Amino acid sequence: MKVLIIIGAGGHGKVIADIAYSNGYKEISFIDDTKKAFDNYQVVGTTKDIDKFDSNKYEFIIAIGNNKIREKIQKKLVSKGLNVATLIHPSVVIGPSVIIGKGTVIMANCVINAGSFIGEGCIINTASTIDHDCIIHDYVHISPGVHIAGTVEIKERTWIGIGSSIKNNIKICEDCIFGAGSVVIKDIFNSGTYVGIPVKKIK
C-alpha cells in the first residue's frame, strides 16, 4: 500500500488519518501551508511541494472543509497525474449499487442506501444518512448527523450544516450553505446561505 499524504493538518485531518489507519495505511504524513508540527504526525511540506511526490509511491486525500479550496487542490492533483484516494470508515453501511467518486471521505456510522451516487471530493461526515437514489455532486460537504431522504439531488460545492434534514424528492442547486439544523422541504434554485425550519435564504 502506498504512503498516504493528507493535505490539511487540522481536526478534520486527524479524523481522516484514523480512517486511513482503519483502511490499512501504515505510513501517513501531512501537507499543510501553515503548520510545522502536528501532534505525532510528520508535516512533510506545503501545497507548493506537491510536484515533489512520486505517483508510484504516494496517494493523496484532502482534509479541507472548504469546498472550493478542496476542489481546486484535487483538480491540481489530478492534472498532475497524482493518485487521489477514497476513504470509507469500516462502520459505514453502503448499498452494493452505490457509486462513490475519488477523493471522497465517508466517516464513521454513515448509511448510504441503494442507487445513490456520491461524486468526487465529497465529505460525508459522521453519522449522516443518505437514502435511496440520491445524487450528491462533486465537492459537496455533508456535515455530521445530516439526514437526506430518498431521491434528493445536491449540486456542486453545497454545504449541508450539522443536524440538517432534507425531505425526499428535493433538488438543491450548486454553491449553497445550509446552517445547523436546517430543514429543507422545497427545491432550492438560487445559490446562497439558508437557515431555519423550514429554511429561508438570508444571503
Closest CA to 166 of 185, 187, 151: 185
Instruction: Measure Cα distances from 44 to 32, 73, 90 in Å.
Output: 8, 17, 28
172: its cell numbers: 438543491
CB count in 10 Å sphere of residue 33: 12
CB count in 10 Å sphere of residue 18: 15
For residue 137, indicate whether it is catalytic.
no
* Angstrom distance (rounded) from CA 26 to CA 5: 11
Identify any residues that bridge with 176 across adjacent strands, giving them in sequence order: 192
Q: Check 12, 89, 132, 137 and give the catalytic one.
A: 132
- Residues with a catalytic annotation lie at 132
